[in-house]
Chains A and B, each alone.
Chain A
Amino acid sequence: MIEIRWHARGGQGAVTASKILASAVIEEGKYAQSNPDYGAERSGAPLRAYNRVSEKPITLHCMVLNPDIVVIVDPTLLKAVPFLEGTDENAILVINTDKTPNEIREKYKIEGRKIYTVDATKIAMEELKRSLMNIPMLGALIKVLNGLVDIKTVEEDIKKTFGKKVSENVLSANIRALYRAYEEVKGE
């Protein structure tokens, strides 16, 4: 079982991204949970969302305490929230930043852990013309999950989720953003 924690701000779509991830995993016949941490916060407030992904049924119904992967959707949260909380040396960090993994490691004095970075903000601005980094961050995470779920399944799920709600243009921009981040994410 892999446990994932998302850090984002309200309105950035992290909950949706976490739901799409769970959906895609389940589509492929595996097990997953997506569990937002609901509060009374409104747009802009830092929030967390969780995923569990497994080959076997998941019976846990509690918060993710010790995530294997932490996804940081908004780079400004690196200073604002204790994103390393509950992680051990083996944890993986997937961070939206224009910096390299090494620069992040030095700047935030991170020991151990594996760091991946992707400039999801840039991808979002170029493809979506809006700072909606959830889908690119999902693309990056899929890459980091290393074959656990097929990006094609994720693509299909995005189409299903957004299909009725957005225009053809917006949908294809999201799909492009997904694949770009999937390609552009860099590890150490």
Chain B
Amino acid sequence: MIKGWKELPIGGVIIEPGSSEKYDTGEWRAWRPVFDSSKCVHCMMCWIFCPDSSILVKEEKMVGIDYDHCKGCGICAHECPTNALEMKPEYLFREED
């Protein structure tokens, strides 16, 4: 993953902005926010309070969750005024090996 010392940019500089998107924090999740778009009024309360920039918005409409990164804190569901988001145990969704 990390290259040898001759290949790395000097000084520990990270030259790629936003490279953390490649790092999945979705694995951390024990609870999953499940989105019911029929109940959503697109008030954006979930979006403005999400600590992980994981509420997906398109053309000013809430469209879903970035499950690669959502850590499942549950703030979105807690702050949702219309119950369009509900926290469910993650194991219900994980494929079994």
Q: Do A and B contact each other directly (Cβ–Cβ < 8 Å)?
A: no
Chain A residues proximal to chain B, CB less than 8 Å: none
List the interface of chain B (C-beta within 8 A of A).
Answer: none
